[in-house]
Amino acid sequence: MTELRIGLIGCGGIASGHLAQYEKASGARVTAVCDILPERAKAYGERMGVPEDHWFTDYRELCACPDVDAVDICTPNNVHVPAANAALDHHKPFCVEKPVGVNAAEVEALADRADTLGIPSMVCFSYRFKPAARYAKSLVEQGLLGSLVQVYASYLKDSAFWPGRRLEWRFDGAIARYGVSGDLGVHILDLASFLCGDVTSVCARMNIAIKERQREDSDEIAPVTTDDACSFLATMKGGADAVFSVSRIALGNGNHITFDVYGTEGALRFDLDHDDRITVTRRNHEGRNSSVETVQIPESFRAGQQQTFINLLHGIRDPYLPTLRDGLRMQRVLDALMTSAETRAWVDVV
Ligand SMILES: NC(=O)c1ccc[n+]([C@@H]2O[C@H](COP(=O)([O-])OP(=O)(O)OC[C@H]3O[C@@H](n4cnc5c(N)ncnc54)[C@H](O)[C@@H]3O)[C@@H](O)[C@H]2O)c1
C-alpha cells in the first residue's frame, strides 16, 4: 500500500484520538496540521513529526497544500462544512466529524457537490465501528429478530459537571447549534438507523440544566444556549417505535451507551462499556421463557475508524461506511428534534 498524506484540521480532543489511530494504521501518515490556535497546531505537528512549515492556522491553506492528499476535519460543528468544501475545492477526499453540519440544507449542498465531483468521503459515526454494533447489524440482516418493533437507546455522560468548564463552543448554539442532541444523540440515532432503518418522526423534550457559564476569554457570565439533556420518542421506517435519551448531566456516567432492539422473534442488547459482547434473546415458541445468551463477538467484526478512512482512500470501501448521505439523514432528524422541542409537537423527518 502506498502511503497517502493526511492533513488534520482542528487539533483538539477528538483529533488526539484520530492521531492515535493514524499512529497505528497502515497506508497513510499525517503530513500537515491546522488549528486556529497556533500552539495547538504546533503540539500536534510535533507529536506527528510534521515539519513546521506544514503547521497551518487557516484550513484553506492546508487544503491547498500539495503535500496533502486527503483531509480529516475535527473542528467544532460550524466549521465542518466550510472545511469540507475547501477540501473539495482541491478535489481532495475528506472525513468529517459528526454532526456533519449545523443544518440539513448545508449538508445536502455538500453531499450533492461531493457526489457531482465524485470525491470520496466518510462521516465519523464512531460507534458503527464498534464490534457490538457490527455484530448486531449482521444478526438483524440474518433475520434473527424477525420484524423489529421497539428500540430503546440511551447515551449518558456527566461532562457538563466537569470542574472549571466555561462557555466552550459546545455550550454555544451559535457555533454548535445542537447540544447533546447533536453531540451524543446523533451517535445513537445513527446506530438506530444503521440497525433498524430511517427515523420518520420525532417528539422531543430538551432541557438546559446549567443555564449560564463564564466565557472562555473574559469574566462575563453568559447563557448556555444548547441542550444539556434531550429525550425523545421516534418512529422508524420499518415500523419500530423508539425511545431515546441523551444527557451530559447524568452524574456517574463517563460515556455510557446502552442499546436494546426488540423484534417479533428475538432481541439484542448491548452496552458499549463492554463493546466485545452482546446479549441475544431468541423467542421460545413452546413456552414463556425465551433463551437469553451473552455472546462474545468474533474478532472479524472489529474495525478501525481511521483505518477505514485510509482504506477508502485506497479504493477499499467498507460495507458499513458512514456516508455523507447518512450524515444528511441524521441532520434532518436533528433539525426535526429542534423543531419538535420548540413547538412541543410531533415532527415528521423530511
Ligand atoms: N466521533 C466522536 O465520538 C466524537 C467525540 C468527540 C467529539 N467529536 C466531534 O469532533 C468535533 C471536535 O470536537 P472536540 O471535542 O475535539 O472539540 P475541541 O474543542 O477539543 O477541538 C476543536 C479544535 O478545533 C479548533 N478550531 C476551531 N475553529 C477552527 C478553525 N476555523 N480552523 C481550524 N481549527 C479550528 C479549536 O481551536 C480546537 O483545537 C466536534 O464536531 C465534535 O462533535 C466526535
pLDDT in tens, 8-17: 999 999 999 9
Ligand 1 atom closest to residue 182's alpha carbon, by position in its atom list: 43
Residue of 9, 33, 35 to mutate, ligand 1, most atoms within 8 A of C-beta: 35
Q: Are 68 and 195 contained in the same domain?
A: no
Of 333, 305, 54, residue with least CA distance to 188: 333
Q: Are 340 and 261 contained in the same domain?
A: yes
Average pLDDT (227-240) is 96
Whose cell is 492556522? That residue is 57
Of 3, 121, 110, 36, residue with least CA distance to 72: 121
Q: For residue 275, what pLDDT is reported?
A: 87
Q: Is 190 in the pocket of ligand 1 (CB under 6 A)?
A: no
Q: Is 9 in the pocket of ligand 1 (CB under 6 A)?
A: yes
Burial class (CB in 10 A: 0-12, 13-18, 19+), 42: middle
Task: Look at residues 62, 91, 125 and tell me which one is the last residue of a structural domain.
Answer: 125
331's enclosing H/E stretch is: helix 324-343
Average pLDDT (49-61) is 98
Q: Is 336 in the pocket of ligand 1 (CB under 6 A)?
A: no
Q: Kindly give, in sequence order, each residue whose CB lies less than 8 Å from that of residue 141, ignoring residues fewer than 6 positions away.
A: none
Ligand 1 atom closest to residue 16's alpha carbon, by position in its atom list: 16
Of 162, 163, 169, residue with least CA distance to 217: 169
pLDDT above 90: residue 250: yes
Task: Look at residues 125, 143, 171 and tell me which one is the last residue of a structural domain.
Answer: 125
Q: For 95-152, write each residue's pLDDT tens digit.
A: 999 999 999 999 999 999 999 999 999 999 999 999 999 999 999 999 999 999 999 9
Q: How far is the CA of 300 from the centre of ligand 1 (A)?
A: 31
In contact, 148 and 140? CB cutoff 8 Å:
yes
Tell me which amino acid residue 31 is: T
Q: How far is the CA of 76 from the centre of ligand 1 (A)?
A: 4
Distance of alpha carbon 196 from alpha carbon 150, whole angstroms:
9
Ligand 1 atom closest to residue 169's alpha carbon, by position in its atom list: 19
Q: Are 271 and 153 contained in the same domain?
A: yes
The chain-wide mean pLDDT, for the chain, equals 97
Q: Is 334 in the pocket of ligand 1 (CB under 6 A)?
A: no
Q: For residue 1, what pLDDT is reported?
A: 75
Task: Look at residues 96, 125, 154 and tell me which one is the last residue of a structural domain.
Answer: 125
Of 182, 185, 203, residue with least CA distance to 348: 203
The residue segments making up the domain with residue 49 are: 4-125
Q: Are 115 and 149 contained in the same domain?
A: no
For β-strands 241-247 and 148-156, DSSP reports them as parallel
In contact, 147 and 261? CB cutoff 8 Å:
no
Residue of 11, 14, 65, 167 to mutate, ligand 1, most atoms within 8 A of C-beta: 14
Q: Are 275 and 142 contained in the same domain?
A: yes
Q: Is 4 in the pocket of ligand 1 (CB under 6 A)?
A: no
Q: For residue 84, what pLDDT is reported?
A: 99
- Counted domains in the chain: 2
Q: Are 91 and 159 contained in the same domain?
A: no
Q: For 194-216, write each residue's pLDDT tens digit.
A: 999 999 999 999 999 999 999 99
Distance of alpha carbon 230 from alpha carbon 162, whole angstroms:
19
Q: What are phi and psi for residue 226, nearest 5 degrees? A: -125, 155
Q: Are 57 and 9 contained in the same domain?
A: yes
Least confident of 39-43, 74-78, 137-141, 283-287: 283-287
Q: Are 343 and 227 contained in the same domain?
A: yes
Q: Are 202 and 302 contained in the same domain?
A: yes
Is this prediction's pTM over 0.95? Answer: yes
- Count the neighbouring beta carbons within 10 Å of the beta carbon of residue 81: 20
Q: For residue 238, what pLDDT is reported?
A: 87
CATH of residue 38: 3.40.50.720
